[in-house]
A and B are shown apart, each in its own frame.
Chain A
Amino acid sequence: MERPLTKNIRPGEEPLSLEAYVRMGGYEAVRKALREMTPDDVVKMVTESNLRGRGGAGFPTGRKWSLAPKDDRRPRYFVVNADEMEPGAFKDRMLLEGNPHQLIEGIVVSAFATHANVAFIFLRAEYTLAARRLERAIAEAYAKGYLGRSIVESDFDLALHLHTGAGRYICGEETALLTALEGNRAIPRAKPPYPQTSGLWGKPTIINNVETVVNVPHIINRGAEWFRGLSRGSDGGTKIYGLSGHVKHPGSWELPMGTTIREILEEHGGGMREGYSFRALLPGGASTEFLLEEHLDVAMDFQSVEEVGSRLGTGTIIVLDGQTCPVGMLHNLEHFFARESCGWCTPCRDGLPWTERILAAFEEGEGEPGDLEILAMHTQFLGPGKTFCALAPGAMEPLKSGLRYFRKDFERHITEKRCPWR
């Protein structure tokens, strides 16, 4: 089984220096793309590879790239979204810390394909080790001519800057990230216009997730067909899956796209820890719907997870065990979303604290039958299309499925007037 993204990553060790990275075949894709291909060739190859964005939404990468206006002479930007703050998600950390040159190489090729001459990595503030390693790698790449003017003696120039945030989940939202980069409060923007036509400072801007970008050099080197063949399903490539909760071996692994949940949970995660039973899981981070035991054989790819009513999201699974209160878990999730709401639109700003308070009441044994209806109402009123951005609808995904799957647990809180898990 091939693991292109992580084969040169040794957990707990220093990442490859530029020399070592080049020895392993690094920056070959930059040479190939910039010297032998046109930007359109690169876009075509990435489109054919079926690479879909790994940030959560799964938009086809090649398509996103081709949405930038063709005959626009204005400067363009390429931005890497490295603001990984979704609770339960930690897949990009490994890529950022473990092999920063791989990311830089992906950025050079992606910026070339999308005609951008300035690129930013928007990194969350708390990834301090990643920041140090990226800074060093960027300096090395400049010194050796993989960044800056006439990269590998082609006529392509690229300036790459590392921008670090200061801790707000909403910065990971594509348009809020742009607002933040411009030095404003990180508030999302209405779409359209999409960033591809009007992004950073109103200029065409392509934004991709870290994991998406690091796939690009491998596609260039080995071809679209090879990339599609890595996967067990119709989406191309491998996927970095993560697992957390009371399992024997929490962690993250690069596996073929479409690996089943059961394989991740049992073979890689070692199953549940002694004394804990399996109850449910969130397949792709805090803003996805719960899945149950009966879903364990579902393949972790975009379509299969959607077919059973959830989303692949970031591909990082959070396991709820039978010894933890599901209502408490929902309360924790909504507490997070309420705190991280940017406050721009009323349904989200007011609705999320309301949901949080109701869930808190359940935990205190003060829940009432009518509260369940109020919660259900919120999942409607804060659902897709009702708010400015996807934060609120995302917050409602675990709640919606929780009300369906854990109804009995809610009812026990009401009749017993306490949390039965405490």
Chain B
Amino acid sequence: MLSFDENKTISKLADRYEKKRGACVEALKMVQRWRGWISDEDLNDVARCLDMSADELDGVATFYNLIFRHPVGWHTILICDSVSCWIMGCSALRDHLEKELHLKLGETTADGRFTLLPTACLGACDHAPVIMIDGDLHGDLSPGKLSEALASYR
């Protein structure tokens, strides 16, 4: 169930748009912030707030890379695999991550701590290769620097 605060925030967000549903992506992200992902129940609740059918909202939710309809780990690691990062060696970075965390791209560690996802260009190509952990950018990475960055999230 959505909390009182969540409901209030969603209706405030909805006021900005000519039709309420304009707020749906921001609403889903807000709900996801604390729960980590969007369950069917959450989806139904948000849809109701915004006068949408749950199916319609699911159609929007599944369109986006950063709305999770499955549980994810505590920390999400987005690894940029676009062109500048590729030239600067993001594949080696990915291999290193997969080995260190014992997972494959798209998976969550057994302890539920990290989820590793590929992402399109993070707009920091001058610091390629780049990853983003929970919204924080880490650039100019080498496998060694990556392990360091990771340590602070353990």
Binding site for B on A (CB under 8 A): 84-90, 92-93, 124-129, 159, 161, 163-169, 180-186, 200-201, 203, 242-246, 250-252, 282, 286, 316, 318-321, 324, 328-329, 332-333, 335-336, 339-340, 342
Count residues of chain B with CB under 8 A from any CB of chain A: 44
Which residues from chain A contact B24 at a C-beta distance below 8 Å?
183
Stretch from B56-64, B99-107, B143-151 that touches the partner: B56-64
Min distance, Cβ A129 to any Cβ of chain B, angstroms: 8
In the assembled complex, the Cα of A335 lies from the Cα of B50 at a distance in Å of 35
Which residues from chain A contact B125 at a C-beta distance below 8 Å?
87-90, 242, 244, 250, 316, 318
- A163: contacting residue among B26, B122, B127, B135, CB under 8 A: B26
Minimal Cβ-Cβ distance residue in A for B82: A87
Minimal Cβ-Cβ distance residue in A for B21: A183
Which residues from chain B contact A203 at a C-beta distance below 8 Å?
18
Which residues from chain B contact A245 at a C-beta distance below 8 Å?
84, 87-88
Q: Say yes or no: A250 contacts B132, CB within 8 Å.
A: no
Interface centre among B17, B20, B84, B88 (most CB of A within 10 A): B84
Minimal Cβ-Cβ distance residue in B for A168: B64
Which residues from chain B contact A183 at a C-beta distance below 8 Å?
17, 19-25, 50, 52, 60
Q: Say yes or no: B66 contacts A125, CB within 8 Å.
A: yes
Which residues from chain A contact B29 at a C-beta distance below 8 Å?
125, 164, 166
What 1/0 mask marks residues of chain B from 11 to 44 whose CB sits below 8 Å from any chain A CB? 0000011111111111011000000000000000
Q: B120 within 8 Å of A by Cβ?
A: yes
In the assembled complex, the Cα of A318 lies from the Cα of B126 at a distance in Å of 10
Min distance, Cβ B60 to any Cβ of chain A, angstroms: 6
Q: Say yes or no: B126 contacts A251, CB within 8 Å.
A: yes
Which residues from chain A contact B7 at a C-beta distance below 8 Å?
none
- A85: contacting residue among B88, B123, B137, CB under 8 A: B123
Min distance, Cβ A59 to any Cβ of chain B, angstroms: 23
**A–B pairs, 26, beta carbons within 8 Å:** A84-B123, A85-B121, A87-B82, A87-B83, A87-B84, A87-B125, A88-B82, A90-B121, A93-B124, A124-B123, A126-B78, A126-B122, A128-B135, A165-B25, A165-B64, A185-B63, A244-B126, A245-B88, A250-B125, A252-B126, A318-B125, A319-B87, A324-B87, A328-B86, A332-B83, A336-B83
Min distance, Cβ A187 to any Cβ of chain B, angstroms: 9
Q: Say yes or no: B87 contacts A320, CB within 8 Å.
A: yes
Q: Say yes or no: B126 contacts A167, CB within 8 Å.
A: no
> Given known contacts A201-B19, A245-B84, is B121 in contact with A166 (CB within 8 Å)?
no
Which residues from chain A contact B19 at a C-beta distance below 8 Å?
182-183, 201
In the assembled complex, the Cα of A159 lies from the Cα of B28 at a distance in Å of 23
In the assembled complex, the Cα of A335 lies from the Cα of B132 at a distance in Å of 20
Q: Say yes or no: B128 contacts A250, CB within 8 Å.
A: yes
In the assembled complex, the Cα of A88 lies from the Cα of B130 at a distance in Å of 12
